[in-house]
Structure formats: C-alpha cells, structure tokens
Amino acid sequence: MSLLLVLEERGGKISRPSWEALAAAHRLALTQEITAVVIGAETEALAAEAAAKPVGKVVRVEHPLLKTYTADGFSLALHQLLQSQNPTHVVFPHTYQVRDYAPALACRMGQVLIGDVTGIEDGPIFTRQLLQGRLNGSYQHSGNGPCFVSVQAGAFRPDSNPDSNIAALEAQSNAGPASIELFAPTLDPAQIRTKPGEPFRESAQTVDLGSAQRIVSVGRGIKDADNIPLVQALAEALGAELAASRPICDNGWLPMERQVGSSGQTVAPKLYMAVGISGAIQHLVGMKGSQCIVAINKDPDAPIFEVADYGIVGDLFEVVPALTEALKVARG
C-alpha cells in the first residue's frame, strides 16, 4: 500500500482538518509510509511544517498558477503527481475545497471519491453516513487505480484514536524531519477556467465552526429569540463561537451557518457546551467528536447527558448567567 495525503493550507499554516486526515491516514496505512502533499505557489514553509509530522516524505507541488486555489489548477496538478507516484490510496480532509476539486480529480483517474468518511475498518472498509445520518454505509474499493477518500472533521482525532495517535507517533519518531521533494506540474493559464474570488469564509463573513476550539451551542430550551443574548454572553466570556441546534436556525433566531448536526456543520472543538439541547441523533453526529462536552439541561434524562463529560441538571436561565458571571470574575 502506498498512501498519499493531500494537506490543505489555511491562513499560511496546514489546517487542523488536515491533521485529522493524517490521523485517518495512519489508521489506514498502519505501518506503511505516508507521503504528504502540499500544494501552492510557495510551499516551503508548509512543507517544513508537514515534514515535522510522522510522514515518510513530503512533496511540494508548486507552480505560480497554484498561488490561489482553483479546482482546475489543483486537480490538473495533482493528477500529474498521481500519475508519477501511482499511490493505492489518496486521503484528503473533507473540506469545502476538497469537495470542490477532489471528485473531478478522482474522475480523471476513472475513480470515485468516497467522501465524508467517518470510520475505517480492516479491509479497508470505509464508513460514511447516508440519509442525513440515519444509516451508515460501508464502502470497499475495487478495481484498478487509486482509492480516493475524504475524512469527516472530528471523526479521526489526532490525539484520541489509539490507531492514529499522532502525538505518540511523533514521540516515537527519532528520525527527524521527513525528506522534502519538489514536483513542478505543467500548467497553462488557458487550462484554468475559473477566476478565483475571495475565499468563501472571508467574503461572506461566515463562521467556520469546524475550526473553532470552543463552541457554546444553544437549543430550543432557550424558548425565544430574545433570550439568545444570554447564551451569546456566555460564549463571549469563554471566547467561544456561538452555534445552535436546528430548530433555532429553522426559526431564524441564528443564521443557518451556525447549525450543528447532520444537516449542519460537523464540529470537533476542545470544548462544546450544549445549552438547552436534548441530544437528538441528528445533533449528536455533528458534535460527538468534541473533546469535552458540557451539557446544561433541566431534564436529567435528556440524551445529551449520554455523550456529555460534564452535566449540569438545571434551569439554563439560572445556570447560564451564573456561569457567565463566574467566568468574568475568574478572567478578571
């Protein structure tokens, strides 16, 4: 097995979902060598960052036309790399960017992308959710050519999956940084059919909950849109992003981009605080990968407590202001 992992840049650094994809790649490759790929017009710093991780080698796919992301540029450049490397598996983080170009790349190689994978079993057999989380589907690659896989945010935590514990692998590795190679694809401006605009997140001023370290999420227990500022204040005191369950967004109390769950965003913060959220399965699939889950709910039997690390059984209208005040005092 030869495995190629395509890392994604965000703000001049390798993105956190990329490290989760590395954890998935280790689950897939086990003892096999992983080739990490960074792509752009100037990839030296990204390559150095990747080379410090437990990978066999790093390939810098570099070309001036890759300065800004385009689906044409990325898929053409990576297609040339794949033809030269001939890997058995190609792994990506399941990001907006990957969703945009990876299916076209897989198609160029006569393959499909097994997208949004949440589990990998021996075989390898890949699990992905169907019908908005109500069913799990199992997929196995067959035939010739590479197997293309993108992994869901939060499904493969670098520091909690024993098969893919990046920190432990780093500690074991005495070999120093991985070697770095340069790959210069042949690209022509006429091949790039789209003119890139500003990245989606910045231009639309939307929130990337998938990258948030702390999230305070509000559910129907809040009762009315006028009460949202109560939870907003807690989020601010914690330096957290504000998110919500679906009814809150359906009611227009918060924008849809803040919805967590099977039909919203998948998140994996260090801290997820669920306020007045019952813990329906469609919500849980979007946040159960969080490192620490704190639930505030007046119903001691609410399903959210089954996944919570800490639970406060109580009225959120009492608990939330008290918590916000205590945090403000603690922070000075």
Ligand X SMILES: Cc1cc2nc3c(=O)[nH]c(=O)nc-3n(C[C@H](O)[C@H](O)[C@H](O)COP(=O)(O)OP(=O)(O)OC[C@H]3O[C@@H](n4cnc5c(N)ncnc54)[C@H](O)[C@@H]3O)c2cc1C
Using the rule CB under 6 A, which residue among 87, 124, 146, 276 binds ligand X? 276
- Three-class SS state of 185: coil
CB of 155 to ligand X, least distance (A): 16
* Helices 228-238 & 316-331 angle (0-180, nearest 10): 30
Report how far residue 43's alpha carbon sits from residue 37's, in angstroms, rounded to the nearest whole number.
10
277 CB contacts (<8 Å, ≥6 apart)?
217, 218, 219, 220, 221, 245, 283, 295, 297, 304
Looking at residue 106, the DSSP 8-state letter turns out to be: H
CB of 97 to ligand X, least distance (A): 22
Query: Prior bond to 177 cis, omega within 30?
Result: no
Report how far residue 159's alpha carbon sits from residue 167's, in angstroms, rounded to the nearest whole number.
6
Nearer to ligand X, 256 or 327 (CB): 256
Residues that bind ligand X (rule: CB under 6 A) add up to a total of 28
Map residues 45-84 to x or -, x wherever contact with ligand X holds by CB under 6 A.
----------------------------------------
Name residue 324's beta-bridge partners: none
Asked whether position 298 contacts ligand X by CB under 6 A, the answer is yes
Asked whether position 22 contacts ligand X by CB under 6 A, the answer is no
Contact segment (CB under 6 A) with ligand X among 22-30, 112-120, 231-239, 314-322 equals 314-322
CB of 270 to ligand X, least distance (A): 20
Asked whether position 103 contacts ligand X by CB under 6 A, the answer is no
Asked whether position 219 contacts ligand X by CB under 6 A, the answer is yes
53 with 26: CB under 8 angstroms? no
Contact segment (CB under 6 A) with ligand X among 20-28, 169-177, 196-204, 240-248 equals 240-248
Asked whether position 227 contacts ligand X by CB under 6 A, the answer is no
Edge-to-edge strand ranges of the sheet holding 310-313: 241-244, 214-218, 271-275, 292-297, 310-313
Using the rule CB under 6 A, which residue among 132, 160, 191, 213 binds ligand X? 132
CB of 286 to ligand X, least distance (A): 6
- Three-class SS state of 157: coil
CB of 301 to ligand X, least distance (A): 9
Contact residues: ligand X, CB under 6 A? 132, 219-221, 245-247, 259-264, 276-278, 280, 282-283, 286, 296-299, 302, 315-317
